[in-house]
Each structure stands twice: as C-alpha cells, then as structure tokens.
Amino acid sequence: MSPTSVLLGALAGAAAILAAGWVLPAWIFVISIALTKGLAVLGLVLLMRAGLVSFGQGLFFAIGGYSAGLLVNVWRITEAALLVPVSALSALAVAAIVGLLLARYRDIFFAMLTLALSMILYGLLVKSSEFGGTDGFNIHGVTLFGLPLGGASRFNGLVLLIVLALAAVALSLAFCRTPLGRLAPGIKDREIRVEYLGADATGSIYAAYLLAALIGGVGGAMSGIAVGHIDPELAFWATSGEFVVIGVLAGTGSVLTPFVAALALELVRTYAYQYAPNTWQAVLGIIILALILFMPGGLSGLARRPRRNAAPEAQEPSGAQAGAVR
C-alpha cells in the first residue's frame, strides 16, 4: 500500500471518529483515551519492526503527562499549543540520553533495561511530594487558542488528538521510508548482515527510539489533558505492558493499526466492565488471548493474508515487500 493510500485511510478513519464523537458524545472520552494509547503504541511498533520490545514506553508517556502537569500547575501555562510540544521535547531529551545506552542492547536485555528505567521514574514519582506522590495532581483549564479542551468541551480535545495522531502517522510513515527506517526489518531478521553491508544498525535503532519517545510524550501529555489528572501509574510496568499487548494486537505491518487496536481494546474493556463488573479482567484476558492465538500477525497481518486462489508468486512476497510498512 502506497503512502498516499495510507494517508487517505488515516483521513477516512479520522472523519469516522469525528462523526462518531459528534453523534455519540458519551463515547468521546473512551475514544480520546484510546487515541492517546495509540500514539504511545505507534512509537512502540517502530521499535518492534526491528525486533525490539520495549517494556518501558510508559517512561515517555509519564514524562509527557508530568511535563504538561508541571507547566499547568507550577508555571500556570494552559495553552495546549505550548504544552504538547514542550512535553514531547522533554520526552525526546530524556530518550536522547538513555537511548545512547539502550541502542547497544538487543532482545531481553533491551526489554529489561527499558522496564527498569520506567520503574525508576515510577519510584521517584511515588516518593516525591513535589510531584504529588501517589496521588499525582490535576490538569485543568487547558485551552487551545482560547478554546477549552476539557469537561463539556471534550470534542475540541478530540479534534486536537486526531490532528496530532495524523501528524504522528505521517511522521512515522516518513521515517519508515528513510534509509534508517528501512533497515528495521533487516535488523530483525539478521543484524550481522546489515552491519557487514556497512549500514548503521545501532543508529537506526537509536533514531527509532527517539521517534518513539517523541510520539509517546505527545500521547502522555494528551492523556493528562483528556483525563484531567496524572499519577505515577503512567510509568508503572502495567501501563507499559498494556502498550505491548496493544502492539502485539496491532502488528508491525502498518502505522494505522496501533490506533485501531487501541480503540478495539478500549471498547472491549468498557463493555466487559459494564456487563461483567466482577469478572471483567478475566473476560478481557480471554479475548486478548483469543486474538493473539487466532491473529498471530496482528491486525496488520490480516491484510497480508494470501487469497486461496492467488498465484504462488503472490503468496510469497519478497523480503523488501514483507518489510514494507503501510
């Protein structure tokens, strides 16, 4: 699928979400939370393309949320046009430092190091009264060029979220088309061959890590604005684990499926909690297990399943075709 087709699909999805939010205002909050998680998962999927699973994406999600919270509560800055970029750049600055270390590790070592860094931040937030301790603090009064984003004006926040999601999709798609982005499937399959060809595998992973942090910071800031509250749970391992589950459900073949998977999982969670309040965790777990068993390639893998009557050449895509991201 060409980049133009992907962007057209993204615009169609954005229009559908806006229409759903306009017709069903009660679902705006659920959709908004799903989109913020989709942003974090999109960054995670960029790393998964290179065979790396980060259990610390909550680190940048929390940095984005707390950066926005500090700007509102300490410096009294409530303009979203300033909050979101500063929060994203804060996450990017941290990633630029820790990424120098993490980009050299692979497999379980990468996963455990990212988890450790996220839990270090969680511990600092819990023990620090300046950051609200275990209670966190509220984020209220955020506006975008004078338009309120919370409370009865959540639709405005949804519009902003969709614009940011479209920008993140375009940025991720552009990265996947760059020389560093195209290295990811080769790194996943056989990194040593990539190095023998003279390509910079570590540089590719470092660039993907920076982009994942940037997008994750945006998601965290918008999560705080949408919910109106932030707490240390944003950096907890369970949050990062949820991002990994959504990433597995989404697959690595498309930059759009992280949002579809996040929205699907959020809707399942909402309905399970509504109709099975005492056993909703079990219901959610069974559904996730079934999805993983019957869709091992994730949602993006469904589009790549060969047709039964297709020619053998069409059923066996080349390595370049298999590594392309839509």
The Cα 31–Cα 165 span in angstroms is: 12
Instruction: Name 79's bridge partners.
Output: 143
The Cα 131–Cα 124 span in angstroms is: 9
Q: How far is CA 7 from the centre of its chain?
A: 18
The Cα 247–Cα 258 span in angstroms is: 6
Provide the whole-model pTM.
0.90
* 150 secondary structure, DSSP code: S
Contact 225, 144 (CB under 8 A): no
Tell me whether residue 229 is exposed, middle or buried, using C-beta atoms within 10 angstroms of its C-beta: 0 to 12, 13 to 18, 19 or more.
middle
pLDDT of residue 306: 52
> How much of the chain is in helix, strand and coil states, percent to nearest 5?
75, 5, 20
Instruction: Name 147's bridge partners.
Output: 144
Residue 121 has which token pair?
């931040």
| Of 114, 140, 126, 130, residue with least CA distance to 40 | 114
The residues near 219 (Cβ < 8 Å, ≥ 6 apart) are 36, 37, 38, 39, 40, 43, 61, 64
Query: 270-295 in b/e burial notation, b at 16+ Cβ within 10 A?
Result: bebeeeeeeebeebbeeebeebeeeb
Q: What is the DSSP string of 260-280?
A: HHHHHHHHHHHHHHHH-TTTH
Instruction: Name 143's bridge partners.
Output: 79, 148
Tell me the pLDDT band of 295, cut-offs 50, 70 and 90: confident
- Centre a 10 Å sphere on the Cβ of residue 312 and count the other Cβ atoms it contains: 7
Average pLDDT in the chain: 88
- With a pLDDT cut of 90, the percent of the chain lying above it is 68
- For residue 287, pLDDT over 80 is answered with no
- With a pLDDT cut of 70, the percent of the chain lying above it is 92
The Cα 35–Cα 162 span in angstroms is: 8
pLDDT in tens, 163-174: 999 999 999 999
pLDDT of residue 118: 96
As a whole number, mean pLDDT of residues 232-255 equals 92
Residue 304's SS3 state is coil
